[in-house]
Amino acid sequence: MDILKEIENLKKEKNAIILAHYYQTADIQDIADFVGDSLALSQKAAETKADIILFAGVNFMAETAKILAPKSKVLIPDINAGCSLADSCPYDEFKEFISKHPDHLVISYVNTTAKIKTLTDICCTSTNALGIVNSLPKEQKIIFAPDRNLGNYINRMTGRNMVIWNGACHVHEEFSVEEIIKLKKLHPQAKVISHPECQKPVQLISDFIGSTAALLKFTTTDNSMEYIVATESGIIHQMKKENSQKLFIVAPPKDSTCGCNDCNFMKLITIKKIYDTLKSEKPEIILEEEIMIKAKKSIDKMLEISKKLNL
Ligand code: 13P
Ligand code: SF4
């Protein structure tokens, strides 16, 4: 059986599309109808007319797609594709945290469960977080969740003093300044580029900090020929596709045996699972109506501000 051909047939037969995050493996990115970062994937889900969205990514992304496209059946090829960052923000604890800061607006990163989004005023992604915070009055008190590194980065960039939830991503927290500096000695011309979910010391030695999409754009518009990339390794596929003459080096994690520049949740998705899921239409993302309605408000607000800011 030619599995890629079968996937194409199933897509046509069922009016299905495949949305894939940049952290998926190269083979999956190459068969997707659309590849993007978490913001672009949300925007795509909001505008699709497909009966089925197969989401090649992690649960919180598929949940966001379901909230934005409630009439579509949203499938995820492995229901265990979670997110350590989303897990670092449990509902009850976050609710209590918010109650201690009653006059604060709640901004939550899209990397949260749908239930956390019901407690959120404005959702954000790493692409629009800075723009969203800057669009608010200087005196506005803000809770930012769940990523402490992204939150502290925004505080540094804006001079604000947002109250930050103490969460983190197990992939981005593992990059090591010492290892990057060693690599820099071998490649003195290489620019270090990092995601704002990386720890502050990694950000401070970076030539450019940006969301997954911003890092990709930087490598195509910047004139260097070599980059040390401190984010999940999947994005390097697109970087190489768009810049075949340039060299992209994966930044090493603290522990070289942990394979930490791969998100083990993202990498649970495989071509075979995509085929099986399209065929059986399982596992499906099912959310309670009330949660979807409440969570949608914060996502809609994000999309509305993003549109105004042209992001
Ligand atoms: P992006 O918003 O850059 O797509 O990042 C999502 C993510 O999971 C980062 O680890
Ligand atoms: Fe979550 Fe980190 Fe994986 Fe992104 S890379 S999906 S934040 S665990």
pLDDT above 70 (res 179): yes
pLDDT above 90 (res 1): no
Nearest atom of ligand 1 to the alpha carbon of 39: 2
Give domain status of residue 257, yes or no: no
- Among candidate residues 269, 270, 273, the one with its CA nearest the CA of residue 282: 273
What is residue 254's predicted lDDT score, i.e. its pLDDT? 76
Percent of the chain at pLDDT > 90 equals 95
Give domain status of residue 94, yes or no: yes
What is residue 257's predicted lDDT score, i.e. its pLDDT? 60
Distance 169 CA to ligand 1 centre (A): 10
Give yes or no: residues 300 and 161 share one domain: yes
**What number is the average pLDDT over the span 33-49?**
94
Is residue 69 lining ligand 2, measured as CB closer than 6 Å? no
| CATH at residue 210 | 3.40.50.10800
Chain segment 198-219, per-residue pLDDT in tens: 999 999 999 999 999 999 999 9
Whats the size of the chain, residue-wise? 311
Distance 68 CA to ligand 1 centre (A): 18
Give yes or no: residues 181 and 43 share one domain: no
What is residue 144's predicted lDDT score, i.e. its pLDDT? 98
**What number is the average pLDDT over the span 151-159?**
98
Distance 59 CA to ligand 2 centre (A): 10
Q: Nearest 5°: phi and psi at 165?
A: -70, 145
Strands (E), 11-93: 16-21, 34-36, 52-56, 73-75
d(CA 77, CA 21): 13
What is residue 234's predicted lDDT score, i.e. its pLDDT? 96
Distance 149 CA to ligand 1 centre (A): 13
**What number is the average pLDDT over the span 37-45?**
93
On average, the pLDDT of the chain sits at 96
Give yes or no: residues 72 and 90 share one domain: no
Domain extent at residue 129: 85-168+295-308
DSSP string, 101-141: STTPEEEEESSS-HHHHTT-SEEE-TTTHHHHHHTS-TT--
Q: Which residues pair with 105 in a beta bridge?
A: 142
What is residue 118's predicted lDDT score, i.e. its pLDDT? 98
Counting the structural domains of the chain, the total is: 3
Give domain status of residue 73, yes or no: yes
Is residue 38 lining ligand 1, measured as CB closer than 6 Å? yes
Give yes or no: residues 52 and 123 share one domain: no
Is residue 263 lining ligand 2, measured as CB closer than 6 Å? yes
pTM: 0.95
